[in-house]
Amino acid sequence: MRSEIIMAWRNMWRNPRRSGLTMAAIAFACLLLVFMLSFQFGGYETMINASVKVNSGHLQVQAKGYQDNHEMRLVVDDPRQVAGLLSQINGINSFSFRAESFSLASSGRRTYGVAVIGIEPEKEKAMSTISDVVRQGVYLAGKDRGFALIGSLLAKNLKIGVGDEVTLLGQGRDGSVAATVSVVKGIFRTGIDELDRNTVQIPLADFQEVYAMDQAVHQVICLADRLSEVKDIAGTLRQSMAESGEEGLVVLDWTQLLPGLVQSIQMDLVSGLIMYLVLVLVVAFSILNTFLMAVFERTREFGLLMALGSTPGRLVRLLLLESMGLTVLGTVFGTLLGVLITLYFQSHGIEFPGAEEMLNQYGLSGRLYPSLSLLSCFAGPLLVLLVTFVSALYPALKVRKLKPVEAMG
C-alpha cells in the first residue's frame, strides 16, 4: 500500500499542469459552494430578522386559537404574568404587549377597514422597525394618549395628514361599540403595501380603554438575541408556562407566525440547490474527462506495469489513489479559501448598491452578511468529494480490461 501511495503521489506531479488545473476546478467549486451557501443562509437570516422586526417578532404568546381568526375575545388576560416568565429566560432581547382589532377608520367622508393595533411605544421602538420608517411627523411617545400612527397609503386614501383627526369605530372585547377619535401624530411607510394601507397604531392604554380590554392584550411579542436560539427559547417558555399553570395560551415562533416567509425561503432554497447540483455536475464531468484522458494517454505505461506483474486490482487502487489525492487536495484548499473569503465578508458585509433602498425600507443597512455555519461549510465540499470519487471510478475500472500486449503495442 505504501509503495502505491508513493507511486500515486509521484504520478500526480508527473503532469503538474493537468493536475493543477483539475485541483483548481475542484477547489473553485468548493469555494463557490461554501461562499454561496453561507451567503444564501445569511440572506435568509437577514430576511427573517427584517420581517419579524416589521411586525411579528420572533415569538408570540397568544390565546389559543387567536392566530387563526384574530377574534377579539381570545386574549392574554394577565400579560404581566407572561412578562414575569419571559424576564427569567436568557436570550430574549426585548418583549412588548399588543392588542389588535379590525375597525373602521374614517376621516369624515372617507372610510376604510383597518387593523387598529394598540402598542407600547417605548418598548415597541426597540422591537419594530416602524419607528424607523416614520416619514412625516414623529413616533408615539411613552405617555401619549389620543394620538395615532397611520400607514402612508391609508393616509393618502383617507386624505389626511399629521395633525388631522381620524375616527376609529369597531367593536370592543365585550361586543360593545368601540369608538374614538385620535390625532395623527406620525405617518409611516414600511414599503409593504398591505401594512401601509391598513394599519393604525394607537397607544395600548387608549386601545384597552376604547375596546373594553381592561388589562388584557392579544399578543406578547418577543425578539430573541439570535435567530438560532428561537426554538430553544420557545421550548423553555412553553415549559415554564405549563409549570406556572398558564392554560389557554400558546407560544408561536416565527415559522408559525409567518408561514409565507417560510415558504418563500424553501422555494429559494430549492432553486439554489438545483443550481449547486448543476455546478457539481459540471465539475464532475470535467474531472471524468481529465481522468479518462490520463488513462488513454498512459495506456502503454499500464500495459508495461501489467507485463511486469501488476495485478489489475493494484492498478485500479493506484488510479483511485491518484484521483482521491487530487480531489482531497482540491477540496481542502478550496474549502479553506472559501471559509476565509466568507469570514472576511461576514465581518465586512457586501454592499448592494441597487438593493440599498429596498433594504432601508426595512430599517436595514444596504449591506448583506454571509453567515458561515457547519452546514454551509461542509455540505458543498462533501458533495464534491463524493461526486468526484464516483466519476473517477469509471476510468479506473476501465483499466482492468486492458490486455498487456495490446496496451503496449
Partner 1 sequence: MRNGNILFVVIVAGILFSSVDTHALDGYDIVQRTFHQLRGKASVSSLDMTIHRPAWQRTVSMKAWTRGEKESLIRITAPARDEGNATLKRGREMWIYNPKVNRIIKLPPSMMSQAWMGSDFSNNDLAKTDSVLHDYEHTLEEVTEQDGHKVFTVASVPKPEAPVVWGMIKLRIRDDDVLLAEEFYDEDMELVKAMTCSDIGQVDGQLFPFSWKMAKAGAVDEYTLIEYQEISFKETLPSSIFSKALLRK
Tell me how far apart the alpha carbons of residues 196 and 152 are, in angstroms, rounded to a whole number. 5
With beta carbons less than 8 A apart as the criterion, state whether 7 and 318 touch: yes
CB 209, min distance to partner 1, A: 11
Nearest CA-CA partner of 255 in 395, 56, 403, 18: 56
Tell me how far apart the alpha carbons of residues 269 and 308 are, in angstroms, rounded to a whole number. 54
CB 168, min distance to partner 1, A: 8
User: Within 13 Å of residue 331, how many CA atoms lie on the same side as its CB?
Assistant: 23
CB 174, min distance to partner 1, A: 7
Closer residue to partner 1 in complex, CB, 83/179: 179
Closer residue to partner 1 in complex, CB, 151/395: 151
CB 350, min distance to partner 1, A: 43
Closer residue to partner 1 in complex, CB, 73/145: 73
Tell me how far apart the alpha carbons of residues 329 and 20 are, in angstroms, rounded to a whole number. 10
Closer residue to partner 1 in complex, CB, 109/401: 109
Tell me how far apart the alpha carbons of residues 388 and 26 are, in angstroms, rounded to a whole number. 9
With beta carbons less than 8 A apart as the criterion, state whether 59 and 203 touch: no
With beta carbons less than 8 A apart as the criterion, state whether 184 and 137 touch: yes
Query: Locate cell 395623527: which residue?
Result: 184
With beta carbons less than 8 A apart as the criterion, state whether 235 and 91 touch: no
CB 181, min distance to partner 1, A: 5
Relative to beta strand 147-151, strand 177-188 is: parallel
Closer residue to partner 1 in complex, CB, 1/177: 177
CB 147, min distance to partner 1, A: 15
Applying CB under 8 A, which residues contact partner 1?
Answer: 73, 104, 106, 108-113, 167, 169, 171, 174-177, 179-181
Closer residue to partner 1 in complex, CB, 146/235: 146
